[in-house]
Amino acid sequence: MENIERYKILIADDEPRNLRTLFDVLAAENYQIFSAPNGEVAFEQAVKHSPNAIIMDWDMPGTNGLEAVKRIRKQPQTKSIPVTMVTGKMISTENLEIAFKAGANDYIRKPFDPVEILARVKSMIRLNHEYCKNIELQKKVAEQEIIHLKQELERSISALTAAKLRLIEKGQSTSQLINDLQELRTYVSQTGNEMITKIISYSRINDLKVNWGEFEVLFGKIHQSFFKQLQGLFPDLTPNERKLCAFIKLNMTTKEISAITNRRVDTVKKAKHRLKCKFQLKNMGSLYQTVQQIN
């Protein structure tokens, strides 16, 4: 494998002869070599230099290789560095399993063949290189997803604001229509008055139902768990009270809520008061604060 960059290799072994052998083999391949006589120093070197691969002797004085690997795996900057364990004593199948559970990627028994060590190092570097490429790709994908979600959220907020304005304008139009119909009562017969009453009732009920559907969808995109949390905290709320909570969440004024719901201002105030009592709160300020804290 051609070295596009000068890869860094950490060798941890307490035997100078092994260090020299490994150094000579790896230096010939233009690797940058760091060495450590025990697990403690190996861990420090790994954190300091972030090598591309580590050759770790198991049996060393003080902190042994196995403990060093465990510590290396706990550090964010070193946890993905591939490690090959080298040992002449811990050679059983159980030992092999222990090494892999500790975080080793490979395992070589002593006496080792320098050519084999070199092949393993190249394999580890390739593994590390592919891992880093994969992590970088995942980061780019995640960044793109964040950008997309942010754009989607901004669009949803704009759409919700527009829907809120449409609700208010539609409510004002309906309110004006109702006022005009009320004025007609003095000019029509009893039958006409009954028809006017039906039209007003239909307008109030159906108008809010149609407009609320679009509004609720947009509101749910921005405040995804609001209604679920609201239901969990106050399960006995009526549908109209749930709507009122959504309007309060958006900091709508009593007058705006009045226009949207085609209710008189004093009626909305009474509805807020009943809601405050259901929440067992002392004042209207605490009602607004409680609703705003629901996400």
Chain segment 5-43, per-residue pLDDT in tens: 678 999 999 888 888 888 888 888 889 999 999 999 999
- Is the previous residue joined to 111 through a cis bond, with omega within 30 degrees of 0? yes
Among the listed residues 103, 112, 13, 113, the one whose alpha carbon sits nearest the alpha carbon of residue 58: 13
| 265-278 helix and 239-249 helix, angle to the nearest 10 degrees | 100
Give every residue of the chain whose pLDDT is below 70, as ranges. 1-5, 91, 165, 171, 202-213
What pLDDT sits at residue 2? 43
What pLDDT sits at residue 68? 94
What pLDDT sits at residue 6? 78
Can you say whether the dihedral through the CA atoms of 278, 279, 283, 287 is positive or negative?
A: negative
User: For residues 246 and 295, what is the distance between their CA atoms, to the nearest angstrom?
Assistant: 11
Q: Are 22 and 117 in contact (CB under 8 A)?
A: yes
Ranges in the chain annotated CATH 3.40.50.2300: 8-112
| Spatial strand order in the sheet of 83-87 | 32-36, 8-12, 53-57, 83-87, 106-109
User: For residues 13 and 33, what is the distance between their CA atoms, to the nearest angstrom?
Assistant: 13
Cβ neighbour number for residue 136 with a 10 Å cutoff: 10
C-alpha atoms less than 13 angstroms from C-alpha of 266 in its C-beta half-sphere: 0
Q: Which two tokens stand for residue 174?
A: 């309906």
> Is CATH 3.40.50.2300 the right assignment for the domain spanning 8-112?
yes
